[in-house]
Amino acid sequence: MAAPDLHAHGSGISLGPSRDQRDAAVARARRLNAATIGWNSVEGVVAVTAGIAAGSVSLVGFGFDSAIEVSAALILTWRLAQERKDGCTQQSDRRATKAIAISFVVLATYVAIEAIRDLATSAEPEASVLGVVLAAVSLAVMPFLARAKARLAPILGSTAAAADAAQTNLCALLSAVLLVGLSANWLFGWWWADPVAGLGIAVLASAEARRAWRAEALEDTCCA
């Protein structure tokens, strides 16, 4: 492994990744983005289709989260392309992070409105075995992908990369919430568990939107 470079930082010296390490991190981030886009494109289509068929707001909301995660990965792809083109990326990183935060707000607003409406009208969704299987698979896969992304963020010095990793981690949490809600409806006929799970998804998305919007830039290790 290449030795880290020493960069001047204020009155002292800070230890940062070498150019080879950064290039390797960027390449790995691109591969993880490609995996994210592929997986979530399929997941989103399946979830929305199954959710509409079953009348499940939590499943539709989960599908929309998959679409937002694809958009977050595309935003990060743009951010990484800016690094290759411009070198220093603080301004691009801030814009990308804000865009990811806004995507969380859109998801939270939509799901909250639909969940409250379903609770108010006692709309009973049908059981979705496909949704249960999808949630279980996502819960098994997403934590590993989120940890891999999070490890790269400090090397890239990127709040956008950190926000994208957080979005993937949120997908894992949403999978757990969705799995509980869908399973309760399927096994016990608790129709209200589905919109309640939807509200849980909205709360988690709102919290992540707030965190991403207020995120402060990491040390910009690409600007020596």
- Secondary structure (DSSP) of 71-90: HHHHHHHHHHHHHHHHS--H
pLDDT at 67: 85
Which of 49-58, 147-156, 200-209 tops mean pLDDT?
Answer: 49-58
Q: What is the pLDDT of residue 7?
A: 47
Q: How many domains does the chain have?
A: 1
Distance CA 195, CA 122 (A): 10
Q: Judge whether residue 191 has pLDDT over 90.
A: yes
Which residue type is seen at 10?
G
The strand pair at 5-9 and 12-16 is best described as: antiparallel
Q: Is 132's pLDDT higher than 90?
A: yes
Residue 23: predicted pLDDT: 77
Max Cα–Cα distance, the chain, nearest Å: 65
Residue 60: both structure tokens together: 């539709």
Position 143 pLDDT exceeds 70: yes
- Domain containing residue 207: 16-214
Percent of the chain residues topping a pLDDT of 90: 38
For the segment 31-57, the average pLDDT, to the nearest whole number, is 92
Here the tokens at position 2 are 């290449």
Query: What integer pLDDT is reported at residue 84 of this predicted model?
Result: 61
Judge whether 124 lies within some domain: yes
Residue 10 in this model has a pLDDT that exceeds 50: no
Amino acid identity, position 195: P
pLDDT tens by residue, 63-100: 988 887 887 778 777 777 766 665 555 676 677 778 87
The dihedral over CA atoms of 178, 45, 140, 182, expressed in degrees to the nearest 10, equals 20
CB 118 within 8 A of CB 60: no
Mean pLDDT computed over every residue of the chain: 81
Q: Write the CB contacts of 94 (distance below 8 Å, at least 6 apart in sequence).
A: 159, 217
Q: According to the model, what pLDDT value does residue 69 have?
A: 80
For 192, the 3-state DSSP assignment is coil
* Predicted pLDDT at 17: 67
- Using DSSP's 3-state secondary structure scheme, residue 5 falls into strand
200 within domain boundaries: yes
CATH code at position 103: 1.20.1510
Please state the φ and ψ torsions of residue 16, each to the nearest 5 degrees.
-130, 170
